[in-house]
Each structure stands twice: as structure tokens, then as C-alpha cells.
Amino acid sequence: MTRDLMPNRYRPGQSALSPREAALIARRDAVLGASYRLQYRQPVHFVRGEGMWLYDPDDRPYLDFYNNVPSLGHCNPEVNAAMAEQAGRISANTRYLEPQLVDYAERLVATFPTGIDRVVFTCTGSESNDLALRIARLYSGNEGVIVSDYAYHGTSAAVAAVSPNLGDAVVLSPNVRMVSLPGPAGVPEAQAAAFFEAQVRAAVEDLNRRGIGVAALLIDSIFSSDGVCVDPPGFIAGGVAAVREAGGLLIADEVQPGFGRTGSHMWGFERHKVVPDLVTLGKPMGNGFPIGAVVGQREPLDRFGNTARYSNTLLSNTVGIATANAVLTILQRDRIQQNALAMGQRLRAGLEKIAQQQPGIRAIRNAGLFFGVDMGGEDMAPHTQRAFALDVVNTLRDDGVLVSTTGENEDALKVRPPLICEAEHVDLFLAAVERALAKVADARNQGLK
């Protein structure tokens, strides 16, 4: 089935635009082409950001509960100062001695479990996953990759080929196998681990039978693109064991769940009590500055480094390292991870209360400050649930609050605010959700009369 991959995007004629925004959209369309899509039925136009807020040209504030890239808030002054200070001194690459690079690498690997003690820096999360696949394939001697049904791991040719989320027009590699997740499959939590392991073992068997072999199980540890499938903790362990028995590696894609977002742990994979062979980082690492990394165990990284060349001009540049170092300092000093846990608990409690008082929320899943909130009634058809979710997203946008959708049916709200959010922001968000649900329900009821 061909699907609209960006269902919230603007379509001409959907809603009134100011002459300013209409003119800008026309200019965009003329020069940028079809791949540059706008979000929301009424596109947003921002000129500045500060903390939890984004501001349009008329200085109207929007509460950001969607953007996980500026994990420490928009335009964090301490991060920006570190970036500017380093840019004012020198921006150089790894072929010159640079103590800041080594200092940060030591600090970063110290946040991981014992055994994960090597790091290679990249520029983006896509590049991190691309490199991790190269390492896994060289180390294992195999080509096969196992991913979840609706996984997204990046935009390079190699990782797009293992990202079913990107849609029918993106051809998946013949060496990739997809496995279903227990939550979307409706499997009870008590059977989740056995279900996932059986899926992975079947994929391993098929890859081996066809002479492809298994290089890696590549997972986003909270399965964010699949709808935020976080529970039960540990359900992936049997599948991990099956891959390792077949000579493959576990690659934990921490681009979205990493750096304390789950609250209970620094890294999302820690919820499952597994230690990956390779971990990929990106997005929040530099609070918006493009920097990523592959962190992993010594043997696969050293074998790759000794037998294959990897470098690019911008990886590990001193400005990126200084920025990432400032981010890590703030995360640890200001107990950001603990704040994510507390605010996640507050947000979940508020959403559960709303769900009890008015219809529209089917289920709530979260780990810290990453939520998937299923929208629409159980009696609704999937396309109606999806339409309900999109109506809520766009109603929130009109009320000055930003979220999006996730999951194969795009019927779950994706809620992932910057980790600095406080109780007042959570309460503002909850009040907006109540208003949006009431408004959408009222509009639907009026339409049924």
C-alpha cells in the first residue's frame, strides 16, 4: 500500500495562509523541490528559539514538545558559548593532536557499561549507523541485517535500505529481514520475550539458509518509529542471543533514546539489560550541532580500524567536540536524566487522568520523556484513528503546542520535549491536550449529525 509518509504536511488550499507565508512557500517550492516537505496543515514559521519555546515572526510562542535534537533546549546559552569560543580559536580535524578530543572521548565512554570503550566520531546519526553496519559486516563476514517492521535508521543508501519506515519507493536490501514487535502485534507482555526471540530466530534461519548470514540486529532501543514500543524491559534479550549465536552483532541505535531521555538510564539499551557490541549516536549529542559517534567494544572496532580506512573532513572537528563536551557537562551537572524521569512520570500521570475523563486516548507508552500516545477509540477503523491523531496534532499546533505522530498507522502522538522541561511546561501541555481532545471530539460529533 502506498502511504503518505508525511501526513501532517501542508497541502495547498487546506487552510488560510498569510501573504508572508504563502509567498515563502511559493519560493520554497520553486527552488527546493518535492523532498522538502512542510509539517502541519498550517505550516509554522519560526525565527528564534529559547529553552522550551519557539517564536514566529509575530513573536507568538509555541511550546515545543516534539524536538528532541535540542535536548537541552533551544539555543542553550552555555552550549552556544562553548561552540562560539572554539569556533573563534580553531576548527581542525583529527589529524592534529587535540587534547579536547581525547578528553571528551574518555568522558563519553565512561558513561557506558564496562567493555564499551572505543569511539569513532561521525557527523550525523545516519553516518553512525552506516559506519556501524560496515563494521558489523567486516567483523562477522556476513551481510544480513535484522530490523523491526517499521524501523528508521537514517538516509544514506546503506541505512535507507534497512529502514522500512521510508516507504514503498525506497527499495529494501535483499539482505534485510524485518521482525514484528510484540506490542504492535498484540502479544501480551508475558509472552513478549518469547515472541520476539522466535521472530529473530526465524529471520536468522532464513538468512543462513540463503547463504547471506547475519551481520547485525540493528534496533532503536525504544523502537520510536514503530510507535514507541518500550515494554516489557528485557524483551529483546533472547533475540540478541540468537543473533550472537549466529555470529552477528547487536547495534543499539541510540540516536533518539540516548543521552538520558529514558530517565531511568543514560542509554536506552540499558533498560533491556543487554550490552551492545556497537552503539550509534547522533542528534542530541551536540544539541543541534551536527556530531555523532559509533561507540563500541574493542575487538570489532579495532579490527575495522586496522583493516579499513574511515575518515572525513568534518568528523571530530574541534567545534563539534567542544559543543558535545558542553552538552555532556550540563547533562551530568544539572541532573538532566533525573529530571527526564520525574517529568516523564508527571506527564504520564496527567495523560492517564485525561484518558479516564474523556475519550480519545487508547494507550500510553513511555520511557522517561519519550511518549507514544495512541489516539482514537478502540471501535474506530485504523484510518479513522489516524485521522483523529492528525486532527489532534494540528489542533495542538493551532493552540501553540508542537507534537507529531508515529507508528505504522501514524495514529500515535509522538511526544519528546527537550529534557529541560519543568512542571509548568508539562501542565501547560496537558491542558492543551485536554482542549484539543474536546475540540476534535466536538467537531467529529458535529460532523456525524
Within a 13 Å sphere around the CA of 172, how many CA atoms are in the beta-carbon half? Answer: 22
Residue 197 predicted with pLDDT over 50: yes
* Residue reference for cell 551536540: 286
- At 309 the pLDDT is 77
Look at residue 181 and tell me whether its pLDDT is greater than 70.
yes
Burial of 59 (0-12, 13-18, 19+ CB in 10 A): exposed
Query: From edge to edge, which strands make up the β-sheet containing 412-415?
Result: 361-367, 370-375, 412-415, 404-406
Cβ pair 69, 288 in contact under 8 A: yes
Backbone region of residue 254 per phi and psi (left: phi > 0; alpha: psi in -120 to 50; beta: other values): alpha
Largest CA distance in the chain: 72
Q: Which of 9-18, 26-35, 74-83 has the lowest mean pLDDT?
A: 9-18
CATH topology of domain 44-74+337-448: Aspartate Aminotransferase, domain 1 (3.90.1150)
Please compute the mean of the pLDDT values over residues 354-377 and round it to a whole number: 94
**Sequence-distant (≥ 6) Cβ neighbours of residue 104 within 8 angstroms:** 321, 324, 325, 328
Given a contact cutoff of 8 angstroms between Cβ atoms, the answer to whether 294 and 120 are in contact is yes
DSSP state string for 265-311: -SSGGGGGT---SEEEE-GGGGTTS--EEEEEEHHHHHHHHHHS---
Query: DSSP string covering 9-66, please?
Result: S--TTSS---HHHHHHHHHHHHHH-TT----SSS----SEEEBTEEE-TT--EEEESS
**403 has pLDDT over 70:** yes
**Stated pTM of the model:** 0.91
Q: At the topology level of CATH, where does 77-333 sit?
A: Aspartate Aminotransferase; domain 2 (3.40.640)
Residue 346 CB contacts under 8 Å (≥ 6 apart), including other chains: 423, 426
d(CA 199, CA 216): 14
Q: What is the pLDDT of residues 281-308, one digit of tens each?
A: 998 999 999 999 999 999 999 999 999 8
Give residue limits of the domains in the chain. Answer: 44-74+337-448, 77-333
Q: Which amino acid does the sequence have at 295?
A: V
29-72 confidence digits (pLDDT tens): 888 877 778 888 888 899 999 999 999 999 999 999 999 999 99
Alpha carbon 88 to chain centroid distance? 32
Across the range 92-100, mean pLDDT stands at: 82
C-alpha cell at 145: 541485517
- Whether residue 9 has pLDDT greater than 70: no
Separation CA 147–CA 310 (nearest Å)? 25
Q: What are phi and psi of 292, to 5 degrees?
A: -145, -175
Q: How far apart are CA 282 and CA 5, in angstroms?
A: 23
d(CA 12, CA 26): 10
What are the tens digits of pLDDT across the range 342-361? 999 999 999 999 999 988 99
- How many CB atoms are located within 10 Å of the residue 307 CB? 9
Q: What DSSP element (H or E) covers 433?
A: helix 423-448
Q: Stretch 84-106: mean pLDDT, rounded?
A: 89
Average pLDDT value for the chain:
91
Residue with cell 529541560: 420
Beta strands at 48-50 and 53-55: parallel, antiparallel or unpaired: antiparallel
Given a cut of 70, whether residue 11 has pLDDT beyond it is no
